[in-house]
Amino acid sequence: MQSLNETLSRRGIDGDLHALIQTLAQCAGEISTLVRGGALSGVLGATESENVQGETQKKLDVIANDLIKNALAAQPLVKGLASEEEDDVVPANAEGRFLVSFDPLDGSSNIDINSLVGTIFSVLPAPTGAVDESAFLQPGANQVAACYMLYGPATVMALTTGDGTLMFTLDPNSGEFLLVEERVRIPEDTAEFAINMSNQRFWQPAMQSYIADCLKGKEGQRGKNFNMRWIAAMVGDVHRVLSRGGLFTYPQDTKNPAKPFKLRLMYEANPMSFLVEQAGGVASTGYERIMAIQPDGIHQRVAVILGSKNEVNTCLGYHG
Ligand code: AFP
């Protein structure tokens, strides 16, 4: 099986982007080791601090964030970084070519129950001039690369640089990510959806109707039975969609009027949308293509409906 390095070379990936992707993979390898150690790594439990999202930070949120921040600051190709765990953008190297947004530990509420967690990266071209928030506020269509790493029974990485979505598995012996799928294709149809059902009463009518029709199954207008999954870690749910199809959504809700959306555009929705679209899927807010959104802040939140093309389009039909 070909290594990440051999695969990127064979595919003629730009040398600087190749080097940056290797830096991201190296970070993930280190985080994978910490996650695998669980309580023995001393990384479980919460800290006393809150992040800009108002969420209590888990120890591993902070450890993973600092690990990645230090690695990117030391990578001359990185001009600046933005993280779920950082209030503001962090300037890095003035001559850098890339901006990196990341969620260092997606699904961190799972870490203490030994369930799935991951890391998500989005890479944008760095514009000339100083690195401030405005430099990052580019539509997702500008991304030059996106990847996630899922720390599960195996540690896997999904990667796109705009020419398909590739899948790698970390070889625990060599520490190398090895290529297992050159061109992931999401099945166009599915009978599986992923949503946090506990918010049902807070959804918009369109989503309430769509899910209600799925739940009516064979006897309803959909004419087939559906299954449901919910991992509470976007990386885990999206990996299932890339692996066997499905529809994943975190829709708009009225649960907290001050926060109608849950998922962050820059370092969750955009990179996942890039990976899904490159695998033949669709990624929408319900009303527009996620990767077309002009961001207005690095921690902006959006609604997400993504996955199997025909099923997402059926769901979008309910949204008019
Ligand atoms: P945490 O990183 O705070 O656990 O949030 C994970 C997440 O942003 C996304 O990965 C999940 O799909 C979603 O939140 C889960 O939200 P619920 O906890 O409301 O199910």
pLDDT in tens, 163-207: 999 999 999 999 999 999 999 999 999 999 999 999 999 999 999
Question: What domain range includes position 66?
Answer: 4-181
Report the CATH number that the domain containing residue 280 is assigned in CATH. Answer: 3.40.190.80
14 in any annotated domain: yes
> Band of the pLDDT at 218, cuts 50, 70, 90?
very high
pLDDT reading at 34 higher than 90:
yes
What's the rounded mean pLDDT across residues 283-299?
A: 98
Same domain for 129 and 101: yes
Same domain, yes or no, for 61 and 141?
Answer: yes
- For atom 5 of ligand 1, the residue with the nearest CA is 107
**Which of 181, 201, 219 is a domain's end point?**
181
Ligand 1 within 6 A of CB of 309: no
3-state SS of 106-126 is ECHHHHHHCCCEEEEEEEEEC
CATH of the domain at 58: 3.30.540.10
Give residue 202 CA to ligand 1 midpoint distance, Å: 17
Count Cα atoms within 13 angstroms, Cβ side, for 221: 7
Asked if residue 186 is part of any domain, the answer here is: no
Same domain (yes/no): 132, 41:
yes
pLDDT at 55: 82
User: Could you identify the atom of ligand 1 that is nearest to the CA of residue 199?
Assistant: 19
Confidence of residue 51 (pLDDT cuts 50, 70, 90): confident
Answer yes or no: is 88 within a domain: yes
Q: Give domain status of residue 311, yes or no.
A: yes
**Shared domain check, 304 and 206:** yes
If asked whether residues 212 and 296 sit together in one domain, one would say: yes
CA-nearest of 58, 67, 180, 179 to 110 is: 58
Query: In which band, very low, low, confident or very high, does the pLDDT at 46 lie, cut at 50, 70 and 90?
Result: confident
> Which positions ≥6 away from 240 have C-beta within 8 Å?
192, 194, 229, 231, 246
Query: How much is the pTM?
Result: 0.97
Residue 77 CA to residue 20 CA, distance in Å, equals 7
Total number of domains in the chain: 2
In a domain, 284, yes or no: yes
Q: Is residue 138 domain-shared with residue 232, that is, in the same domain?
A: no
108 ligand 1 Cβ < 6 A: yes
Domain end among 181, 215, 238: 181
Q: Is the CB of 200 under 6 A from ligand 1?
A: no
Closest-lying ligand 1 atom to the alpha carbon of residue 109: 4
**Per-residue pLDDT for 71 more than 90?**
yes
User: Residue 170: which H helix or E strand, with range?
Assistant: strand 165-170
Same domain for 173 and 206? no
Q: Which atom of ligand 1 is nearest to the CA of 233?
A: 10
Taking the CA of residue 106 as reference, the ligand 1 atom at the shortest distance is: 2
Answer positive or negative: Cα dihedral of 233, 302, 159, 197: positive
**179 alpha carbon, distance to own chain's centre:** 20
